[in-house]
Structure 1
């Protein structure tokens, strides 16, 4: 954290405190430099902190994990042992399992890392009920603005949502939204001047390829992986044809699939599965991939605030804005009152819904529009889905996020909302 950047309270604090009180092991994962270490140091100042980025500590734990842990745990008392960059040790998971098998005390370990150290199926299964895994994403706009957690999904899941429950959204211009997309959500990088920020984000990608990927699996062609990352930045918010990507990157398709899985485990990409209703012949089942951080995606594509001008590449804003909205929703989703799942949907005849949030019998269906105006035509797929499509028999709320400033009702449970409504205060 730079000296000029104040500490921004993270919405995950409450979840983290509850996890430490209810589980023996808490596993906090997320991209590097996203603020995991800052969060646990701030929250658990009374615990013992070690980092496996320290070669001497890592070497000692790899040489005698059980002996080192016995010594560390004896010194701790009731405080947690906090292990930073936990994925660097190959012996950590099994040793922790042995400790918590014999000691039932809650909050013994808090682990942080860019990927999940508990990847072995038998170890993960044996820790079921004893471990909580939480993910810390890049900063949401609500966190940047020190606003309350967005309750927009809970709002949409009501039987009769009312626009009056949403406080007046922040009146932003198209340029303001572009600035937010360009900045991204990494605490130390987002506030830098554009040129330094984008260099920082590109250096970040180099560090991920050179260090973090190796913690998961050896990569024979790191240059090809870097090309794949660039291609995914250019294809954010798209369904991905892995065969086409394989030809482009000169990799085998199975290798492309493996690399995409690594990038998701490192929280660089997120994948929205295709929602299906059971009417399989009418629905496309390919997943849609989103770049997790819009600032990194823009840096890789060398975008600036003029890149989206009418005489440049204005069409590129659509996918980035959709991924930006997905990111805001994804960060808020675990903090809603119920457990919701996020998908996308497309039919064989090209009807589509950008984001579908499944709450069981109630669906919130979302379209994202990179325009300051909205009309009834923008709701045609949402309306068909409910009336004649696979949403029949379910309660559905339809939302179109756009770059205008007004909250509007279009009837039949359909609403147009400014994108800034994602960080508006909501009264339920």
Structure 2
């Protein structure tokens, strides 16, 4: 088992009577909660007998498994109606950290949790391994392409599975188990193609109409499917960063995948060498870095504040802006392995426009050398592993 950065935050949230740990399938949620709460009774609602009991007699189900320590309800999305009875138990007994819920389908859990357990539940997200977690367990390859191709799902490393085999199985399982009941069976092949088309749009503005046309579905269907993919933690959207610079700014979000190993599989990139020569390499690197910033926020219990900035003409753009402590940190993400003056063009423009100090600006690139330039601090891709934590806690800009 890999020690996860979220573990101390999980215990902090156990002051709530209910803790919900949500995230993509096979991200390590079950392993984490069983390790951190070893005295809790573990119940998987993936089990047909337990699930039937929980749905048909929720009060009896909770009474049967009553104990002094607590209950872990794994795959809670299969019996969301339990929340009403959990609420009654919580209001009667108020036991901190008694109920631990895990789930991989946010669209089935969110309404049940927010309506029934408001004020009683602490909600956290666990994703595949971050750069910091890979580094901590000596799983981080010296090769950027290999790191991206492998992705971060723990089972790839624990079971020494070839990434191509793992992700093919993962996609089939995801479509059949998580989406099968929500998408018309006649549309399943179209949905799989839709997911592949999304992978091909990583790092781009999400033009739903164009995506719908290419997939051969209506715009409402495309929006619904994007919502399913977002709610099941396959992809996420970076919203545009707005400030009044007297400029017309783009208002469409950009699309990214939480795990670029999965995206590589969808794009039929079969190995690290193919990735290094792929025209998707730059977009995948950008998604890799953006997703890691997102994970860093979540692993510390913070709401992700990950944005991008682009003017309406598209002539000027900042790949990433992190908002923390009242400060905006512009970050350019460059897939080149040699620092050039061109890397700083967007940062220079944004700092001048925003009247921002260059000490708060960063370039993240595919190389390894750290540099303190007058326009920005340059960081290699491995050096971002704890950047969010440093900036969150820092009174001064990061020094190298």
Could you tell me the TM-score, scaled by structure 2's length? 0.89
* Shift, 1:279, TM fit: 4.9
Superposition pairs of residues 339-378 of structure 1, within 5 angstroms: 341-350=305-314, 351-359=316-324, 361-378=326-343
User: In terms of mean alpha carbon deviation, does 321-330 or 130-139 score higher?
Assistant: 321-330
Counterpart Cα distance in 1 of 2:229 and 2:101:
20
Superposition pairs of residues 294-309 of structure 1, within 5 angstroms: 294-303=260-269, 304-308=271-275
* Shift, 1:193, TM fit: 6.9
Change (3 A) 1:85 1:283: same
CA-to-aligned-CA distance 1:294-341 (integer Å, 9 cap, x gap): 1111112221222245xx53x321011111111221111245597661
Aligned partner of 2:238 in structure 1 is 272
| SS of the residue 2:129 aligns to | coil
Superposition pairs of residues 375-414 of structure 1, within 5 angstroms: 375-388=340-353, 391-392=354-355, 397-412=360-375, 414=376
Aligned partner of 2:398 in structure 1 is none
CA-to-aligned-CA distance 1:137-164 (integer Å, 9 cap, x gap): 001122122179xxxxxxxxxxxxxxxx
Aligned partner of 2:31 in structure 1 is 38
Aligned partner of 2:90 in structure 1 is 100
| SS of the residue 1:343 aligns to | strand
Counterpart Cα distance in 1 of 2:301 and 2:9:
13
Aligned partner of 1:415 in structure 2 is 377
Counterpart Cα distance in 2 of 1:81 and 1:399:
44
* Shift, 1:179, TM fit: 0.4
RMSD over aligned CA atoms reads 2.6
Change (3 A) 1:43 1:336: closer
| SS of the residue 1:49 aligns to | strand
Aligned partner of 1:327 in structure 2 is 291
Change (3 A) 1:110 1:339: closer
* Shift, 1:192, TM fit: 6.7
* Shift, 1:70, TM fit: 1.9
* Shift, 1:191, TM fit: 6.6
Superposition pairs of residues 12-161 of structure 1, within 5 angstroms: 12-20=6-14, 22-73=15-66, 76-77=67-68, 79-116=69-106, 117-120=108-111, 124-146=114-136
Change (3 A) 1:214 1:23: farther
Contact 2:58 2:82 in 1 (8 A): yes
* Shift, 1:99, TM fit: 2.0
Q: Is residue 254 of structure 1 aligned with residue 220 of structure 2?
A: yes
Change (3 A) 1:283 1:90: same
Change (3 A) 1:330 1:147: farther
Which of 197, 201, 214 is equivalent to 2:163? 197
| SS of the residue 1:373 aligns to | coil
For structure 2, the 5+ residue unaligned runs are: 395-400
Change (3 A) 1:218 1:90: farther
Change (3 A) 1:300 1:124: same
User: In terms of mean alpha carbon deviation, does 324-333 or 96-105 score higher?
Assistant: 96-105
Counterpart Cα distance in 2 of 1:336 and 1:107:
18
* Shift, 1:240, TM fit: 1.3
Aligned partner of 1:292 in structure 2 is 258
Contact 1:293 1:327 in 2 (8 A): yes
Counterpart Cα distance in 2 of 1:406 and 1:234:
30
| SS of the residue 2:349 aligns to | helix
* Shift, 1:205, TM fit: 0.9
* Shift, 1:223, TM fit: 1.6
For structure 1, the 5+ residue unaligned runs are: 1-6, 149-169
Contact 1:340 1:359 in 2 (8 A): no
| SS of the residue 2:43 aligns to | strand
Counterpart Cα distance in 1 of 2:129 and 2:335:
22
User: In terms of mean alpha carbon deviation, does 360-369 or 332-341 score higher?
Assistant: 332-341
Q: Is residue 11 of structure 1 aligned with residue 2 of structure 2?
A: no
| SS of the residue 1:306 aligns to | helix
Counterpart Cα distance in 2 of 1:277 and 1:261:
27
Change (3 A) 1:305 1:281: same
User: In terms of mean alpha carbon deviation, does 334-343 or 345-354 score higher?
Assistant: 334-343
Counterpart Cα distance in 2 of 1:330 and 1:380:
25
Change (3 A) 1:269 1:278: same
Counterpart Cα distance in 1 of 2:358 and 2:89:
48
Contact 1:362 1:396 in 2 (8 A): no
Contact 1:53 1:85 in 2 (8 A): yes
